[in-house]
Every structure is written in C-alpha cells, then in structure tokens.
Amino acid sequence: MSPDALPEIGLGTMGISDPERIASAIEMGYRHLDTAQIYENEEVVGRGIELANVPREGIFIATKVWADSLAHDDVIASTETSLDKLGVEYVDLLYVHRPIEAYDPAETLPAFDALLDQERIQHVGVSNFTSEELDTARDVLDAPIFAHQVEMHPLFQQADLLADGRQHGTNLVAYSPIAQGDVFDLPELSATAEKYDATEAQVALAWLVEKGVVPIPRSQSDDHLRENLRATNLELTSEDVARIESIDREKKLFE
C-alpha cells in the first residue's frame, strides 16, 4: 500500500488473539493494522488479513522490532520472522519499538535502511523516542522517519513531539488514545460528547485526528470498533479543541 498519508484511524492489535476480530475490523473499514513482535500475535494478524475480503495491497501493516532484537543482524532476522508470521512479502512500516536494551543507532538503524533497500519494508518508523533520540536517528538514517508512535491522549498531549513531527514531516501515531478509558471521567470531554451526541472516546479520537495525529485504538468489541471508526465523522470546532487542550492534569500510562 505504502501511502504518503496514513489512514486517519488505525487498529491497535495488542491483546487481540482472535483472527476473526482482525478480519471483522478490516471488513468494517480499518485499513491500518498495528502489531509488534512483543505482542506475540503477528500470526493472528496475518490470519485475520487472510480471512478478510480485502486485498493485501489495500491494507497498511505496521509491526515493531522489540528491544532485544535491535543489533543489526537481529533486526534483519527478526523482521524476516515477522514477515513469515504475518504471511506477507513486506510490511508497510517497521518501527524500532523502544530505544532501549540492544538499541544502538549506528548498529540498529542501518539495518532498517537495508530492509528498505531490499523492499522488505516500505517505511521506517520509531516509537517512544525523545526529541534528542529523533535528532540522532535522523542523522544516522538514510531514509526519512515516516512515523513516530507514542502514547498520546488528552491527559498526555505530547506538544513537543507533535511540533517535531510537523517540522520534519513525520507522522505522529498515538497509542492508548483514550487513556485506557480515563477519558470517560474527564468533564471537558463529557461536555463535548454531550454537545455532539457522541462518546468521550470518539471525542478523544476526533481531537487527535483534528491535530493531524493518527490514533490506533484497540478493542475486543465490534461495537466499539465501529464506534471508534465513526470518530472520523466528528468535526470539532476550535473551541472544542481549546477546551480539551486546557486540561491541566497529566497522566502518563506507560514508562
């Protein structure tokens, strides 16, 4: 698929163990699937893609190399294993999952460039990087950083990384976009949800989309999957956005 712009809302697959759930999401309209080696469900995602009545070329598939496989040769080998599990010849986006453990920019990132040259991946991404780590990665990589995946939601707004992405043309992808359900307890979101006869989750997702961020919510429920996808139909005003950005509480869920 390899688009210049990601679909507005993707599907986070962490914890999904039923390929039918993946197939159902694809058939209801999801075209961006996000998995990772550490989730141990790449085979589930691959089987779901196989079950769905949508050509592989119509689906944007992203996975991530875990921290213990970030030495140069391990990046190559583990990515080949990921491709086998997913049942595909390439992934559209491959991330460095976290810059810890075996991560060494001079060792790790040239392997991503090599996979791109071999057409085993279409885009290079990073996840959970600081601004300084992004600068270093850009200096080392030949390829542009297509996407940076981070925790982002109304209680953790990531203004600095959003500005970085806009400056460098890097897509910001938001995991845990509804703060593991904490958005339902935010009066600023509840007021906006009531205004539009929507849910707080839809408002949180629409807020991210409005900012040009790609949320990847996950759910085990088809009803919630449909509800999340419909958030793209919710058009927030500048006043709505300002109300959410005025939240002065901060809660980071993942270290």
Active-site residue list: 39
Identify the three-state secondary structure at position 60: strand
The torsion angles phi and psi of 171, rounded to 5 degrees, stand at: -65, 135
With CA atoms as reference, report the closest residue to 139 among 106, 108, 115, 103: 106
The torsion angles phi and psi of 169, rounded to 5 degrees, stand at: 70, 30
With CA atoms as reference, report the closest residue to 109 among 134, 80, 81: 134
Helical axes 187-196 vs 200-210, angle rounded to 10°: 90
Q: Can you tell me the distance from the alpha carbon of 17 to that of 231, in angstroms, rounded to the nearest whole number?
A: 25
What does the block give as tokens for 230? 């419909």
Counting beta carbons within 10 angstroms of the beta carbon of residue 220, is it exposed (0 to 12), middle (13 to 18) or buried (19 or more)? Answer: exposed
Q: Can you tell me the distance from the alpha carbon of 137 to that of 106, in angstroms, rounded to the nearest whole number?
A: 9
What does the block give as tokens for 35? 């998995």
